[in-house]
Amino acid sequence: MVGITSYGAYIPKYRLARDVIAKAWGPRFISGERAVANYDEDSLTMATEAALNCLQGRDPKSVDGLIFASTTSPYLEKQASTLVATAADLPAEIFTADQLSSLRAGTAALKSAMDAVKGGSSKNILITAADSRRAEPGSDSEQLIGDGAAAVMVGSTGVAASIEGTYSVSEEFLDAWRKQDDAFLQKGDSAFIQTYGYARIVQNCVEGILKKYEMKTGDISKFIFSAPDSRIYARLAKTLHLPPGSFMEDPLLTTVGDTGAAGPLMLLVAVLEKAQPGERILLCSYGAGNSDAFLLQVTPEAERLRERQGVSFYQNIKRPLTNYEKFLKFQNTLPHEPLAPFSSWALLWKEQKQNLRLYGTRCKKCGTFAFPRRRVCQKCHAKDEYEEAKLPRQGKVYTFAKDHLFPSPDPPTVMAVTDMDGGGRFYGQLTDGDPNQVKIGMPVELTFRRFHQGDGFYNYFWKLRPRE
């Protein structure tokens, strides 16, 4: 049996009420709010968060593949999955790949992972999908889009939802696109694409998989579709004659937004969080004429994953972004000089086990732990007699300061000294928090973020954030 053995999700903390956008531009297309990646987040960091949540309680060494799925990878040339895998402390001897440029990239990754596990070339493949698309200010897409990530582990032991069947449709169709140099999402004629694009192709794919496996609508407990817009989503459910309760009334659109390539997997995670053993799920993605459908069946193992940090966990963790201009700055829509201090890949390459994987040293003679790493023990002076040991990711603030000098789109920059639970100390930026709420003793945890563009590349490192 091959299927989903674990899952996790991530939704950035900032939420922008659509009213705030409407206040700047006029009509509101959809109610509620959308999730907004903080200025130090991108698809790579969000995918890392989701991956870490998916890995919770699992040995990273058991993973032998990682696929990153997105339409907004930070680099056009430079694979993102390698860095996600490194930050997640997966072994170096694994297969990694990026599945890019399609809104069904997440399900494309799911399909290839399933095939690899079925074929026996891999045992456990982690798929992590994230998107953070930009729309032109004032466009309806600006309101519809949201940022988020989801991760699923595909394997054959401890399967919580088995994959019983798949079906795909691939038809050349152009409804939404971004060319190499387009800053914003482009869209075709809405009446045309609604009728001949999404609705028709998803319908074909759903009917196709049901027919292939000789099933009827009534055999499925939950239908999950990509949902680029609440109206056409509702219309599709009607066309398919889905009974009420067999699909999500609000596919995260009023709380998170359309999370692009991450969308189908985020919805899958949201459904799995509540699914009962025996239930059948039909998952169907859509991206520019392509659609992948999966038939899944929930097993009793699903109960084991209930406590995971998934969609419902993050839906409750939010901080309102009340300022539209700040949103534009977070999105990099407002032009500004990027922060590009000294950096050197030659330096960072040497230090990646420390800076990306968070390993310090533990003296073999006296047990003293050091982060950053020390070749000579701080206590007993033993030289090069250490073992590598991980810095814990959670701790409590020992002291802090709020810096108004350090350049940031979200000042002040809170710098916190943190004693980690289980030993070690970390000093760094505290993100996602209200500077006025920071206190000595406050529980915090490390989160992987984009730091700056020193030496012309994206520098990633860990920051602290309030622990929920």
CB of 355 to other proteins, least distance (A): 5
# binding residues, other proteins (CB under 8 A): 42
Say how far apart CA 21 and CA 422 lie, in whole Å: 44
Which residue, 174 or 401, is less far from other proteins as judged by CB?
A: 401
Which residue, 192 or 345, is less far from other proteins as judged by CB?
A: 345
CB of 84 to other proteins, least distance (A): 17
446 secondary structure, DSSP code:
E
CB of 442 to other proteins, least distance (A): 12
Cα angle 55, 57, 60; round to 5: 50
Comparing CA positions, the residue from 269, 281, 262 lying closest to residue 104 is 262
Q: Is 191 in the site for other proteins (CB under 8 A)?
A: no
Say how far apart CA 161 and CA 278 lie, in whole Å: 9
CB of 172 to other proteins, least distance (A): 45
Q: Is 398 in the site for other proteins (CB under 8 A)?
A: yes
At position 355, the amino acid (one-letter code) is N
Q: CA–CA distance from 30 to each of 90, 175, 188, 322, 326 (Å)?
A: 40, 20, 20, 17, 21
CB of 342 to other proteins, least distance (A): 5
CB of 352 to other proteins, least distance (A): 10
- Which ranges of 351-448 would DSSP assign to H, the alpha helix? 352-355
Which residue, 165 or 423, is less far from other proteins as judged by CB?
A: 423
Q: Per-residue b/e over 208-234, b at no fewer than 16 CB within 10 Å?
A: bbbeeeebeeeebbbbbbbbbbbebbe
Which residue, 136 or 455, is less far from other proteins as judged by CB?
A: 455
Which residue, 216 or 349, is less far from other proteins as judged by CB?
A: 349
Options 195, 276, 322, 399; binder of other proteins; rule CB under 8 A: 399
Options 347, 375, 388, 468; binder of other proteins; rule CB under 8 A: 347
Backbone angles phi, psi at 263, to 5 degrees: -50, -60
CB of 403 to other proteins, least distance (A): 5
Which residue, 377 or 416, is less far from other proteins as judged by CB?
A: 416
**Contact positions with other proteins (CB under 8 A) in 114-153:** none
Comparing CA positions, the residue from 152, 174, 151, 154 lying closest to residue 163 is 154
Which residue, 222 or 465, is less far from other proteins as judged by CB?
A: 465
CB of 435 to other proteins, least distance (A): 8
The contact pattern for other proteins, residues 300-339, with x = CB under 8 A and - = no contact, is ---------------------------------------x
Which sign does the torsion angle of CA 337, 342, 344, 347 carry? negative
Spell out the residues 6+ positions from residue 109 whose beta carbon is closer than 8 angstroms to its own. Answer: 67, 69, 99, 127, 129
Distance of CA 279 to the CA centre of its chain: 26
- Largest Cα–Cα distance of the chain, in whole Å? 74
CB of 125 to other proteins, least distance (A): 30
Q: CA–CA distance from 79 to each of 87, 96, 441 (Å)?
A: 14, 9, 39
Backbone angles phi, psi at 346, to 5 degrees: -60, -40
**Contact positions with other proteins (CB under 8 A) in 402-421:** 402-407, 412-413, 415-417, 419
At position 392, the amino acid (one-letter code) is P
The contact pattern for other proteins, residues 414-453, with x = CB under 8 A and - = no contact, is -xxx-x---xxxxxxx-----x----x----------xx-
The contact pattern for other proteins, residues 365-394, with x = CB under 8 A and - = no contact, is ------xx-----x----------------
Q: Is 343 in the site for other proteins (CB under 8 A)?
A: yes
Which sign does the torsion angle of CA 25, 28, 31, 34 carry? negative
Q: Is 348 in the site for other proteins (CB under 8 A)?
A: yes
β-bridge partners, 421: none
User: Are the CB atoms for 284 and 223 separated by under 8 Å?
Assistant: yes
**Contact positions with other proteins (CB under 8 A) in 10-29:** none
CB of 386 to other proteins, least distance (A): 15
Binding footprint of other proteins on the chain (CB under 8 A)? 339, 341-344, 347-348, 355, 371-372, 378, 398-407, 412-413, 415-417, 419, 423-429, 435, 440, 451-452, 454-455, 459, 461
